[in-house]
Amino acid sequence: MASIAFNDNREYIMFPNGYDLRTLFVFTCVVETSGMTQAAKVLNMTQSSISQSISNLESALGTQLFDRSVRPMSLTVAGNTLYEKSKGLLESASRLLRETQESQNLTFETLTLGLAESFANTVGPELVRQLPHLARKWRILAGTSPAQHEALLNYEVDLVVSTSDQIMAQEGLNLYTIMEEPYVLVFPKTYDGPVDSIASIEGLPFIRSSLRSSLGRQIERQIKRLRLHLPSHSELDTATAQLKMVALGGGWSITTPICLLQEIEQLRDLQVCPIQKGSFSRKLTMISRSSEMEKTAEKVALKSQQILRDQLMPELFKQIPWLENKLIWGLQ
């Protein structure tokens, strides 16, 4: 059955069978995954179904979209034009769908969150458990904040929880501060040297956080502000590896409460101290695109804050009592 739409003169026009949003979505997926086999895996469809959708689309348009005489197959001129135009159309259709669902408090078919790794490992599972009716399918993608920012702007994720301050200056975004947490010093349990400032630490090498992460970059900026040169023999990419190295006596490091929360079992082998001189902090911020999913973003941010404040952080406070007064909560 053909689809019906309006042209620019508000007259009815008929879209041919095979030319619809779902088929355009399949087509763009084939392009972006570089083949029908890969697209079938991503979309959980059979390869024959993908092939039939592309054939139907080509028949509807009356032109070939792929040059199948080469391997891997490539876009024709018409295919490339359709691909470039389809991306904007699909983004607009997706926004319209989500705005309609949100306005009526309907359940989203899918909800994709891009989360900082420590946040994904601690708060992420509880969000899914405590907001079961928000989406039929949740997708939680853990990674570094810069990569999550790009994914948000490219419409690859719906919401982001970021620990970076670099996206804050960009227009077209809504920001909801969940909490602000201090950076803290971590030492092996056996360390008995000075701990009042970063500059005073003696006898242990500094274990760096990877500069791929916003955490690592924020720490390095503070070290430069203090004009310090810290002897270092290792740079680690995850909080798990970093804190394990400290616990084994390999050095000292700088981390945050939520990273400690992720590795709470390692606290028995760690000594955690506040930074008295040269202290600094970071914010955990829920970010959405402006005029999109604002109610949902605020709901998820509030629930995230509640999970941290009332459920997860109290377990950390039992072992590090002084930490409770160092956290600043955002949304109320």
Q: How do residues 88-134 score in pLDDT, each as one tens digit?
A: 887 777 777 766 666 666 578 889 999 988 999 999 999 999 998 89
Tokens, residue 234 = 């290792």
CB neighbours of residue 115 within 10 Å: 27
d(CA 246, CA 259): 13
**Average pLDDT value for residue range 286-315:** 91
**Average pLDDT value for residue range 32-37:** 86
Query: Dihedral of CA 249/251/257/258: which sign?
Result: negative
- pLDDT of residue 199 exceeding 60, the answer is yes
Q: Residue 159 in contact with residue 287, Cβ under 8 Å?
A: yes
d(CA 82, CA 75): 10
- pLDDT of residue 170 exceeding 80, the answer is no
* pLDDT at residue 39 in the model: 85
Between these two residues, 332 and 317, which has the higher pLDDT value? 317
Q: Tens of pLDDT along 123-169?
A: 999 999 999 889 889 999 987 766 777 788 777 888 999 887 665 55
Q: Is residue 67 left, alpha or beta, with left meaning phi > 0 and alpha meaning psi from -120 to 50?
A: beta
* pLDDT at residue 105 in the model: 63
d(CA 103, CA 85): 28
Q: Buried b vs exposed e over 176-195: b needs ≥16 C-beta within 10 Å?
A: bebbebbbbbbbbeebeeeb
- pLDDT of residue 248 exceeding 70, the answer is yes
Q: Residue 316 in contact with residue 257, Cβ under 8 Å?
A: yes
d(CA 289, CA 86): 20
In Å, how far are 61, 88, 276 from 183, measured between CA atoms?
A: 58, 41, 11
**Average pLDDT value for residue range 33-40:** 86
Between these two residues, 3 and 22, which has the higher pLDDT value? 22
pTM (two decimals) = 0.70
* pLDDT at residue 221 in the model: 92
* pLDDT at residue 1 in the model: 45
Question: Which residue segments constitute the domains of the chain, with CATH numbers given?
Answer: 3-100 (1.10.10.10), 105-181+282-329 (3.40.190.10), 182-281 (3.40.190.10)
